[in-house]
Chain A
């Protein structure tokens, strides 16, 4: 049973436009959500996070939105740049974090010139 779901394996967006990556979760005990970015042959790198007590967190071109009632979060990248092409993983954490992060399967974002 997958607790964190990224239903789009890939997404293609034109350079300069907005990229929206979606993530759904089923475990209401998750209280922290993170997005990681991964280039081929490299480890994931942390991008942005949001606590469950907030509904929005912004960092430069990246904004994460959380809708707790819908158990849905999204990552907005605007404007999209070629270097944003990567696999984006949504991850979630329960209080204490002892179980580690629960990751989605990832969405491969392709920015087209």
Chain B
């Protein structure tokens, strides 16, 4: 499967715990985006990363949320001290080149976080 891989698909956490969501982009893609979809809402941009660089994190909450895309391994979205309002579907998307960006992003199947 050469698509965008996200895991876990489903994650349950209690309030105050940490959540880690992983995303492996499509082969050959060096740009990763994280989006969040709250119930009854559209997809909200969170962060855009290239390898070892955060390019744009304007959509990330200022506290508790962080993202990385290391030189080796998947991109990770980390949520510390989760609260019920963090319950959502988190989608990762990748694209090959910024310069060729006609906007087409390839999405993973999402990670559904439920905070009890």
Contact = CB atoms under 8 A, between A and B. Distances in A.
Given A43-B109, A100-B48, A100-B56, A49 B104 contact: yes
Contact of A98 (B44, B48, B106): B48
A89 B41 CA distance: 11
Interface stretch (B12-20, B67-75, B80-88, B95-103): B95-103
A97 B110 CA distance: 22
Given A43-B91, A98-B55, A89 B42 contact: yes
Interface string B45-69: 1001000000110110000000000
Contact of A44 (B43, B45, B48, B55): B43
Contacts of B116: none
Given A32-B103, A44-B43, A100 B35 contact: yes
Given A98-B48, A102-B45, A103-B44, A44 B56 contact: no
A49 to B, nearest CB: 6
Interface string A83-113: 0000001010100111111111110000000
A96 B43 contact: no
Given A97-B101, A99-B56, A43 B42 contact: no
Given A34-B104, A42-B109, A44-B91, A100 B45 contact: yes
A47 to B, nearest CB: 10
B45 A101 contact: yes
B43 A89 contact: yes
Interface of B: 4, 6, 33, 35, 40-45, 48, 55-56, 58-59, 91, 93, 98, 101-110
7 contacts: A41-B110, A46-B104, A46-B106, A93-B101, A99-B45, A103-B35, A103-B44
Given A93-B102, A99-B56, A100-B35, 13 more contacts: A42-B109, A43-B109, A44-B91, A46-B105, A51-B102, A89-B42, A91-B103, A93-B103, A97-B103, A101-B33, A101-B105, A104-B42, A105-B42
Q: Rank and list the top 8 A-B pairs by shortest CB-CB distance, nearest first.
A: A43-B107, A97-B101, A100-B45, A105-B42, A93-B103, A103-B43, A103-B42, A43-B109
